[in-house]
Chains A and B, each alone.
Chain A
Amino acid sequence: MKTLTAFILFSLSALPAFAAEPPVAIDLIKSAIDNYRGLNSYSEASMTIHRKEWQRVVEMKVWTQDLDKSLVRVTAPKKDKDAGTLLIGDDMWSYAPKINRIIKIPGSMSNQSWMGSDFSNNDIARADDIIDQYTHRIINTSTENNKKIYTIESVPHEDAPVVWGKEILRVNEDFVFLEHQFYDQDNQLVKTLIASEIKLIDGKYISLRQRMTKTDNKEEWTEFHTSTIKFNIEFSSNTFTLSNLRNPR
């Protein structure tokens, strides 16, 4: 599953603790998704890109609606203030305030890194119906700190446009994902997204910090840290438009 959507998805968790019956994997995931169909959110977060010799922190505001619309606007550092990315469905536009232009990111650039991070444009952009392109099943259930934790294995379908051999998610009963692992087709772990700082906000359990690390290079990682988040916001109809991307209100 595409990463940003994944943690936007899983960090905004909702459902109350499960009833006694063990859930079916895809239902689990789908319910989690269904739960957000009508969910809008506004959050303020910072993204830290860490490398062996340097580190960069980008602060941003994020608006999301349904699961296929999101708007990201950079608030710091000063140089990149008001730069932004708009996603609608599979399309992605980028705004560069320095030149006051909006550019649609073509497919050929989809593997380029998004804002210099370890996420590619593709990771950020792809909508979620890709979940249907996997087969999911629960492979383990355990208990930690009195919460049930489900380990789900998601295997992409034969011709799904996914390079991974499989992905393993650990989700707890509050629908907070704890970990998302990406395995290659030889079952080697390539990268891992780990969630932490789980809090209860507006009646939902959310992870406020997610870090993506690479197995073969511990010095390089990207971390998202959400400082503020609100749910069920009313957005005006032109929030997710190109003009809004360009001109913040």
Chain B
Amino acid sequence: MNTSWRFAWRNIWRHPRRTVLTILAIAFGAALLVFSIGFQLGQYDLMIKGSVSIYQGLIQVQKEGYLDEPKMRSSINNIQSLAQSLREKTQVTSIAARANGFALVSSNKRSYGTLIAGVEPKYEKMVSIIPDTIREGTYLSSDSAHEVIIGKSLASNMQIKLGDELTFMGSGRDGSIAATILPVTGIYESGSKELDRNLLQMPLKTFQETFAMGSHGHAIVFYHDDVKQDLVFKQQIKQALSSHKELVTLSWDQVQPGLKQMIELDYSSGWFMYVVLIAIITFSILNTFLMSVLERTREFGIMLALGYKPFNIGKLVMLEAFILTLFALSIGTLIGLLINLYFAAYGLTFDGMEEIAQMYNMPSTLYPQISFESTLIGPLVIFVFTLISALYPAMKIRKLQPVEAMRKI
């Protein structure tokens, strides 16, 4: 076995320039893919994070059926203690309980039908950026305070300022009239028009009291910076809740499928281009492999005459391709990885980043994702393609006739 390897290695370096060019081609492809995929995946991570951190969270626990038909009665019992037990079981504190409702909200000048969320201020800060986007006043101070915060657009449409009172009227969980008056203690601007125009937040216990919820709520929102691990977290939570058959655990893409699809589309079109690129490189070097086989026809002829099986010669050729490719891929992957590591530390920006970043609530610097997937998947595909293309010349060997072959120049 050792001899074959040495033999293969020597054969590779018989024509240094040719080999170097081939290695360059493969390494180039590998480095490019590692860099490109690293950034693509990194970008997706940022997009997902940007999107779920606004309000929706990475994972949500709800009563089964609530997602499709959000009724007041479709609720989670003892939601705060359940949220607390989840925090303990998963060792994650960024978990917040919420209750959702709809009410007629009136200021002196106008009335609007709006969404109301009852939140746990202490934990809501950890799952959503809204508390950080308060422009005037302060965020809610406690679970049962008599306070409400409102989005900037809605505040101006209703012509109210900080300190003004809002009257809430709606239907409680038991159908009774839900009514309360709360002062506006904070005005937020999340950047999402939908939220700013439609969502008010009050403390959870205040909500529960107003809407006759008792200790019920509608959603437990889980957030974590490491968005890639969403499925892992989902599993953890599911297990922690295994005794609650009536609850479902939903990951962000189940709550908002659009983003995931956009990412999938982008990734697919990325791969289309990668495959084309790999194909081009493969064909580029196919000639090299072919050449290296054809020019040794005489040599192979002699080997055959000496008793070497054609199959073994084929194996030798494949081994050459294998070693060369592996060598080239290692170099390329390493270079790509180094580049990624550099940018992972310093970040990458380019023109137009600012605006896009704003749209998706992302930071304006891109960081690549450093993971097994992002680093190895590109080179892996190149590897497969290259070896397949090496099969072609290897097959040609089987057709060789010793005498004819030896006669070749």
Chain A residues at the B interface, C-beta cutoff of 8 Å: 49, 53-54, 56, 74, 77, 79-80, 83, 94, 96, 98-99, 101, 103-106, 108-109, 112-113, 115-116
Q: What is the CA–CA distance of A198 and B113 in the complex, to the nearest angstrom?
A: 40
- B179–A115 touching, CB < 8 Å: no
- B176–A79 touching, CB < 8 Å: yes
Residues of chain A within 8 A of B176, CB atoms compared? 56, 77, 79-80, 116
Interface string of B107-131 (1 = CB under 8 A from A): 0000111000000000000000000
CB distance from B182 to the nearest CB of A (A): 10
CB distance from A123 to the nearest CB of B (A): 16
- B212–A79 touching, CB < 8 Å: yes
CB distance from B213 to the nearest CB of A (A): 13
CB distance from B197 to the nearest CB of A (A): 14
Q: What is the CA–CA distance of A112 and B114 in the complex, to the nearest angstrom?
A: 13
Report which residue of B177, B179, B180 has the largest number of chain A beta carbons within 10 angstroms of its beta carbon: B177
Q: For residue A113, which residue of chain B has the nearest CB?
A: B171
Chain B residues at the A interface, C-beta cutoff of 8 Å: 73, 104, 106, 111-113, 167, 169, 171, 174-177, 179-181, 212
Q: What is the CA–CA distance of A79 and B179 in the complex, to the nearest angstrom?
A: 11
Residues of chain A within 8 A of B174, CB atoms compared? 56
Contact of A103 among B73, B169, B171 (CB under 8 A): B169
Residues of chain A within 8 A of B180, CB atoms compared? 98-99
CB distance from A74 to the nearest CB of B (A): 8
Instruction: List 7 A-B pairs, minimum CB-CB distance, nearest first.
Output: A96-B179, A116-B175, A56-B175, A99-B181, A98-B179, A99-B179, A106-B111
Residues of chain A within 8 A of B73, CB atoms compared? 53-54
Q: For residue A102, which residue of chain B has the nearest CB?
A: B167
- B175–A115 touching, CB < 8 Å: yes
Given the interface contacts A96-B169, A103-B111, does A80 sit within 8 Å of B177 by beta carbon?
A: yes
Q: What is the CA–CA distance of A49 and B167 in the complex, to the nearest angstrom?
A: 26
Residues of chain B within 8 A of A113, CB atoms compared? 171
- B113–A109 touching, CB < 8 Å: yes
Q: What is the CA–CA distance of A101 and B112 in the complex, to the nearest angstrom?
A: 16
Q: What is the CA–CA distance of A106 and B212 in the complex, to the nearest angstrom?
A: 24
Residues of chain B within 8 A of A53, CB atoms compared? 73
For chain A, what secondary structure do more than half of its interface residues adopt (helix, strand, loop), or is it mixed?
A: mixed
- A103–B106 touching, CB < 8 Å: yes
- B177–A83 touching, CB < 8 Å: yes
Contact of B104 among A49, A54, A105, A115 (CB under 8 A): A105
Q: For residue A53, which residue of chain B has the nearest CB?
A: B73
CB distance from A207 to the nearest CB of B (A): 25
Contact of B113 among A79, A112, A116 (CB under 8 A): A112
- A109–B104 touching, CB < 8 Å: yes
Residues of chain A within 8 A of B212, CB atoms compared? 79
CB distance from A66 to the nearest CB of B (A): 27
Q: What is the CA–CA distance of A56 and B112 in the complex, to the nearest angstrom?
A: 27
Contact of B167 among A101, A106, A116 (CB under 8 A): A101
Q: List 29 A-B contacts (CB under 8 A).
A: A49-B175, A54-B73, A56-B174, A56-B175, A56-B176, A74-B177, A77-B176, A79-B176, A79-B212, A83-B177, A94-B177, A96-B179, A99-B179, A99-B181, A101-B179, A103-B104, A103-B106, A103-B111, A103-B169, A105-B111, A106-B104, A108-B112, A108-B113, A109-B104, A109-B113, A113-B171, A115-B171, A115-B177, A116-B171
Residues of chain B within 8 A of A106, CB atoms compared? 104, 111
Q: For residue B175, which residue of chain A has the nearest CB?
A: A116
Please name 6 further chain A to chain B contacts, defined as beta carbons within 8 Å, in addition to the given A99-B180, A106-B111, sorted by A numbering: A101-B181, A103-B167, A108-B112, A109-B113, A115-B171, A115-B175
- A96–B177 touching, CB < 8 Å: yes
Q: What is the CA–CA distance of A83 and B178 in the complex, to the nearest angstrom?
A: 10
CB distance from B309 to the nearest CB of A (A): 77
Residues of chain B within 8 A of A103, CB atoms compared? 104, 106, 111, 167, 169
- B111–A104 touching, CB < 8 Å: yes
Q: For residue A104, which residue of chain B has the nearest CB?
A: B111
Residues of chain A within 8 A of B104, CB atoms compared? 103, 105-106, 109, 112
Residues of chain A within 8 A of B106, CB atoms compared? 103
CB distance from A106 to the nearest CB of B (A): 5
- A94–B169 touching, CB < 8 Å: yes
Residues of chain B within 8 A of A108, CB atoms compared? 112-113
Q: What is the CA–CA distance of A101 and B167 in the complex, to the nearest angstrom?
A: 8
Q: What is the CA–CA distance of A194 and B176 in the complex, to the nearest angstrom?
A: 25
Residues of chain A within 8 A of B113, CB atoms compared? 108-109, 112
CB distance from A192 to the nearest CB of B (A): 22
Q: What is the CA–CA distance of A116 and B180 in the complex, to the nearest angstrom?
A: 17
CB distance from B164 to the nearest CB of A (A): 14
Residues of chain A within 8 A of B181, CB atoms compared? 99, 101
Q: For residue B111, which residue of chain A has the nearest CB?
A: A106
Q: What is the CA–CA distance of A116 and B212 in the complex, to the nearest angstrom?
A: 13
Q: What is the CA–CA distance of A106 and B176 in the complex, to the nearest angstrom?
A: 20
Residues of chain B within 8 A of A94, CB atoms compared? 169, 177
Q: For residue B212, which residue of chain A has the nearest CB?
A: A79
Q: For residue B182, which residue of chain A has the nearest CB?
A: A99
Q: What is the CA–CA distance of A80 and B171 in the complex, to the nearest angstrom?
A: 11
CB distance from A70 to the nearest CB of B (A): 18
